[in-house]
Amino acid sequence: MGIYGMVTGKAGKSGFGSASTAEDVTQSIDANHLTAIITGGTSGIGLEAARVLGMRGAHVIIAARNTKAANESKEMILKMNPNARIDYLQLDLSSIKSVRSFVHQFLTLNLPLNILINNAGVMFCPFQLTEDGIESQFATNHIGHFLLTNLLLDKMKSSARESGIEGRIVNLSSVAHTYTYTEGIKFDSINEPDTYSEKKAYGQSKLANLLHSNALSRKLQEEGVNITVNSVHPGLVTTNLFRHSGLGMSVFKAMSFFLWKNIPQGAATTCYVALHPSLKGVTGKYLADCNITTPSKFATDKSLADELWDFSIKLIDSLPN
């Protein structure tokens, strides 16, 4: 879409642009037959996506670390739309144990799963290791979602097969995937504090989201599975993700105010990819402002995606169940 489209809000080929909201892009869509999981659905664009999918009739499961916040989000959505089907389950993406527990709890509900929106994340965190000994941004933004997706794939496959409805996986990446380490993913020193950069580590995790999407998309296509996998850049949106940013980010925001979106606009691309019929069969793509766009060279590197997949599997397998 480019800077011009971002500033003016001019619609692209999809008919939507940076000024479109989540309600705009899902207008007249009936999602009553769909069940969706949204990680991080208690604030920001995750909450807005949960609200709008609920408005369109989908049964939404909010996966959230803070169950008090999740319950408050559910009550807020129900107050606005008493007919919404909203539930929540506890999920801490930085914990392998929590991811496995969440999946177990969800599967016991015996619900179908048509849409998985991997939205939650952390940003620009000071260096720290999770309980599993993994750098927190890489663990939360990539490893947690990678494992969650893999553990839910069989349910998504059976849901698509039994219903005939295309499954959709949406990974929240970012234009920040272009600002990463020199090698793209620093496999040999993921957990090294001496080479850690808060911003590059975030960019690395967002690149990992894209690479994961592309690798999974290829695998599912090879299997002939009726599930699409796409990545989105929501745009520049002021949310709780920026709680670790400092003065530099405040100055940047002040200078680039004309590029920033409000939350309904920020959730638009997520909801568009999750629900819009024009994207039926579209997979392995990267979208911004509700239009397909081109990511970085690293993001389209198949060998890097395969290496990340193998690295992620080995890392998870090395941890206690």
Query: Pick from 114, 104, 214: which is nearest to 163 by CA?
Result: 114
Percentage of the residues of the chain whose pLDDT score is greater than 90: 88
Q: 23 with 266: CB under 8 angstroms? A: no
Cβ atoms within 10 Å, residue 242:
16
Q: Which residues pair with 170 in a beta bridge?
A: 117, 230
Is CATH 3.40.50.720 the right assignment for the domain spanning 21-317? yes
Beta strands in the chain (DSSP E): 35-39, 59-64, 85-90, 115-118, 167-172, 227-233, 236-237, 260-261, 286-288, 291-293
Q: Specify burial of residue 133 (Cβ count, 10 A radius: 0-12, 13-18, 19+).
A: exposed
Confidence of residue 249 (pLDDT cuts 50, 70, 90): very low
Q: Tokens representing 1?
A: 């879409």
Query: Pick from 187, 182, 147, 190: which is nearest to 296 by CA?
Result: 182
Query: Pick from 46, 40, 22: which is nearest to 140 by CA?
Result: 40
Q: Tell me what the mean pLDDT of segment 239-254 comes to.
A: 47
Q: What is the pLDDT of residue 240?
A: 52
Q: Which residues are known catalytic residues?
A: 196
Q: Tell me what the mean pLDDT of segment 219-237 comes to.
A: 95
Confidence of residue 16 (pLDDT cuts 50, 70, 90): very high
> Which residues make Cβ contacts (< 8 Å) with residue 157, sequence separation at least 6?
167, 225, 227
Residue 6 scores a pLDDT above 90:
no
> Which residues make Cβ contacts (< 8 Å) with residue 236, sequence separation at least 6?
256, 259, 260, 261
Q: 135 with 127: CB under 8 angstroms? A: yes
Q: Taking the domains of the chain in order of start, what are their residue ranges?
A: 21-317
Alpha-carbon distance 137 to 159, whole Å?
31
Alpha-carbon distance 168 to 231, whole Å?
11
pLDDT (tens digit, 9 = 90+) per residue, 190-206? Answer: 999 999 999 999 999 99
Q: Tell me what the mean pLDDT of segment 184-195 comes to.
A: 96
Q: Tokens representing 144?
A: 């947690």
Q: Tell me what the mean pLDDT of segment 152-159 comes to.
A: 98
Q: What is the pLDDT of residue 239?
A: 52
Alpha-carbon distance 229 to 94, whole Å?
22
Q: What is the pTM of this model?
A: 0.92
Q: Tokens representing 315?
A: 């890392």
